[in-house]
Amino acid sequence: MDLHYLRIFYEVAKERSFTKAANKLYINQSAVSIQVKKFEELLNTKLFDRSSKKIKLTYSGEVLYKMAEEIFQKVKRAEKEMTRIIELDKAKISIGSTSTVGEPLIPKLMKAFSKVHSEIEYDIIFSDKQRLLKSLKEGELDVIIIDEEHITDSNLEVIEVDKFPYVLVSKEDYRDIEDVIDTPLISRKTIPNNNEAIAALENKYKISFDNQISVMGSLETIKGMVREGVGNVILPYYSVYKEVEAGEFKIIEKIEEVEDAYQIVITKDKRTLLEIIKFINFTQNFKII
């Protein structure tokens, strides 16, 4: 169905006049009549009853008019929305994040970001690093926020945001650091920095965390296990600072030798997009602690 014909038919049906429709469309009346007739031939049905002096729609014409009205109302709304987007510089970004970084960072970050940039809407997806990187490369995500990762892909740009030390935290206080080996250590063996932090602590105090519980997945699950006294855990400070400040967790040891940064990663072709520039600049200056 040709939308040009549909528009002419719609205006005639709406105005109930070929003359008024012609004036509205800035074409002559004979052209309107010819176009409507061609449209009827194309559809193989009569749209107007020409047996009376007044413009009257046939049954087919009434059905088509109602559908055309819905179509052009949607077109009008789309035009208004596009105008609003242009005038307000409105945009939308898709953000991906790992749970380790995202769970402590995203709620606070996006609340502050929205206050400053209310014109930018956003979607958020939590997943593991490899899936996030794949989605970023395929264009499903505009930007991802992940814990430190060595990335060599020439099509990606990595922007380091902030660094924090690892900390050993527990629900309980310990008089002696050596006593911690009697409690299971919740470990994330797939995270290189986590393994380095464990090794650094073992080397410093000549102890060995033989009793380890490996957990993969949600940061909240890990912290929940600490709250229940299942074990202690070594995490980047930014991911547990709220619990520490609230007195839920105690810092048993700060591991200065190993730091964890969180990074913004984007594809280089999106570096010049205004909404991406705004998000990067804001996040770089945002302090989670």
- State the CATH number of the domain containing residue 68: 1.10.10.10
With a cut of 90, say whether residue 225 has pLDDT above it.
yes
222 shares a domain with 280: no
195 shares a domain with 155: no
Predicted pLDDT at 44? 93
Q: Pairing mode, if any, of strands 232-236 and 185-187?
A: parallel
139 shares a domain with 8: no
Q: Which residue has the higher pLDDT, 143 or 154?
A: 143
Question: Which range of residues forms the domain containing residue 270?
Answer: 91-163+263-285
Predicted pLDDT at 178? 84
Predicted pLDDT at 254? 93
150 shares a domain with 108: yes
> What average pLDDT score do residues 24-44 get?
92
Q: Quick one: which of 155, 162, 151 has its CA closest to 101?
A: 162
What is the band of 88 on the pLDDT scale with cuts at 50, 70, 90?
low
- Taking residue 138's Cβ as centre, other Cβ atoms within 10 Å add up to 9
With a cut of 70, say whether residue 1 has pLDDT above it.
no
Tokens of 260: 């964890």
CA distance 251 to 30: 85
Got the DSSP string for 68-126?
Answer: HHHHHHHHHHHHHHHHHHHHHT-EEEEEEE-HHHHHHHHHHHHHHHHHH-TTEEEEEEE
Predicted pLDDT at 84? 67
Instruction: Give the count of domains, the chain.
Output: 3
CA distance 234 to 77: 53
**End residue of a domain, out of 46, 68, 88:** 88
What is the band of 149 on the pLDDT scale with cuts at 50, 70, 90?
confident
- Report DSSP state, residue 180: G
With a cut of 80, say whether residue 14 has pLDDT above it.
yes
277 shares a domain with 138: yes
Predicted pLDDT at 100? 79
Q: Which class for 48: exposed (0-12), middle (13-18), buried (19 or more C-beta within 10 A)?
A: buried
124 shares a domain with 191: no
257 shares a domain with 185: yes
240 shares a domain with 130: no
Report the CATH number that the domain containing residue 204 is assigned in CATH.
3.40.190.10
What is the band of 101 on the pLDDT scale with cuts at 50, 70, 90?
confident
78 shares a domain with 95: no
Average pLDDT over the chain, rounded to an integer: 89
With a cut of 80, say whether residue 80 has pLDDT above it.
no
**Helices and strands, counts by H and E, the chain:** 10, 10
